[in-house]
Structure 1
Amino acid sequence: MKILYHHRVASKDGQYVHIDAIVSQMKAKGHEVIMVAPQVAEEGDFGSDGGWVSAVRAKMPRFISELLEFAYTFLVFFKLVKAIRQHRPDVIYERYNLYLPAGIWVKKLFKLPLQLEVNSPLYDERVKYGGLSFPWLAKWSEYYAWRNADRVLPVTHVLAGYIENAGVAKDKICVIPNGVETEVFMPQQLQNRQPEFKDKLVIGFVGFCREWHQLDQVLARLAAMPHENLHFLVVGDGPVIAGLKKQAIELNFQDKFTSTGLVSRDEMPFWLDQIDIALQPAVTPWASPLKMLEYLAKGLAIVAPDSANIKELLSDKDNALLFAEDNSAEMVDCIETLIRHDELRSQLKARAIETIAEKGLTWSNNADTILAWFANRNSRH
């Protein structure tokens, strides 16, 4: 098939990982993929935030930024029309974004089947975390895209609930959690352990760490424990790193605390090989966290919140230890339990690896699900 892939992601982050993984799998399975997307992400380094476009938008009044965001849909409409006339694709695959009905317009104009991947309810997210100047227009654009796609692909059942509430029929929704490339994130390679982590029990956090992750409480508990072989590793950056370093010195724990700063995607399997107990401290209620899938594939002992979306993949005392949402005291209790109980830790690690195969949590399986629907749809027309 010829697949027109459309997205509006300008940052090179977890979103880009998802896009790149699906596109790579589609190509590996023999399909041609035509991209209509911002160039800025393609050209940036991992961790880049959208370049000059994001910088300019951040300085604008919010209502102007939103008007430009909506105006972009008219520009991209003509780009999509041009791409369709030039390449004659069989189908359209789109990653949903707010204020972006252009994909639906061209789907209707050219009568092409469209699958819409949805990673968050962006109207609710923007209202909660940033605010909206034109909430009525934002909500219209979200509902219009969801209702008019031929098939909607949310990453969790929690998110599917938002889409159903918007009036999308259940039989048009297919939940596809994020995946992992098991050839890259293979079970832990202990020969990769760096000297400072050898023979240590390493508690690790991966990602951009903020205050609500409560890593200061993790550090305080670890420093208070009598175990000599503990080490706390933060793989990533964030505004709380300086405070954690200062705290580690005050607790005389500086030799047992390491922060890497931003690391490239290629280095991530190596850094996960350094970790025994992996933390997923907080998560938005509809997300399918990429790092959680990578923790599972690597066979790490996971500590995570018991939110509904997390429980779609993790079960307490089976493939993870779960703590009550927003309860940092219970989170550090779970960490201490895993430090003290070697057998439980080993059991969780083994079950983590098995979870990937049991639930089919790979990018290859995700691509197969997407492509099978397109193939079936085309065979009927």
Structure 2
Amino acid sequence: MPNKEMLLIPGPTPVVDEIYEALAQETYSHTDPRLVKRFKNSLDMTKRLFNTDGEVFVVAGSGTLSMEMAIVNTVAPGEKILVISHGYFGDRFIPLAQAHGIQVEVLQSQWGKHVEISAVEEKLAEGGFKAVTVTHADTSTGVMSNLEELVPAVKKYGPLFILDGVCASAAIEENMQKEYGHPDYRIDLVLTGSQKAIGVPPGLAIVAFGPKALKAREAMDKVAAYYMDILRWLPTMQDPGKYYATHPVNMIYAYEKGMELVMAEGLEARYKRHAALGKAVRAGLAQYGMRALAPEEIAAPTLSCILYPEGVNDAEFRSKLAEKGMVIAGSLANLAGKAFRIGHMGNATEEMFIKAMELVGETLNEMGLRADPAKAVETFKNVYHEGLGK
């Protein structure tokens, strides 16, 4: 199934033929031994992705469902969480938790910046927080959280560390057994979806629970959920032949293939490729006077929020690119009309972004601005190859 356009939004991301072919295979019964084998393989690779010594859950749903599963199964009504937000998607934890009767306090950064670690420690020193939520790469701002600072700052006060990896997993390290300065300073839970850096179509909610997060659920008498209750799912995740709810059979095929591609590339190589690609995309676009909202030292490898230079009409620019087969996303909230968002993750290739640099320059010239596509392409390639060590 050939891709007819370059889908360079922050997700869904480009899907390769091998994944489409897996998705299109004959649908087995949700308890068929052949599906059970493939699902087990998928779950094993998911554990390897997060290097967890806990359990992983892969169910029909979206990243939003994975966010809710994470909160509902670790924090009881009346308990308190701290939301560390670097943008719109960090803020989504606020109404989500409140819908379940959970108390929420928030530390919000100015868009394009980090929440100060001193503010995090000052807030946590007040005590009483069951968990802290952190968005690894916020899809609205292109800001990447600094886990090297945040994990120890949070864990020394005791709360669970819940990481939203929706726009990061399989592109940025999320090692749940990594010790951040102390054996107890580890990520307790990672949540994500299938459609971003993993490179599979939308449709799967993926959540990895470490030992402390599992104990938090076990200590709760009940949760205000049925489908989202991980204890109901646990026997099925340990043995996919056991029925709880119908598996999304063809999506499991696609997910298995997507994870096989991730593992075949190698996690370290994949992280390096994404870091190089993000830096190169921003450097190439800078040749057109386009500046990333997030400074390079905190910019995400997976997507960028790019501020327009003077004189560019957002709707016209994105519409013209779409006519040429390149789709990018508008920005959110107060940045709407002032910036666009471009994804550079998953199965996106160097060739796609060489073409993207050319199309952006061509479009700017059509709109009456001076642009040099050859220079942007050259810059992109040089920075990308340097990042890869070529």
Larger radius of gyration: 1
| More helix as a share of residues | 1
TM-score of the superposition, structure 1-length normalised? 0.30
Higher relative contact order (CA closer than 8 Å, sequence separation 6+): 2
TM-score of the superposition, structure 2-length normalised? 0.30
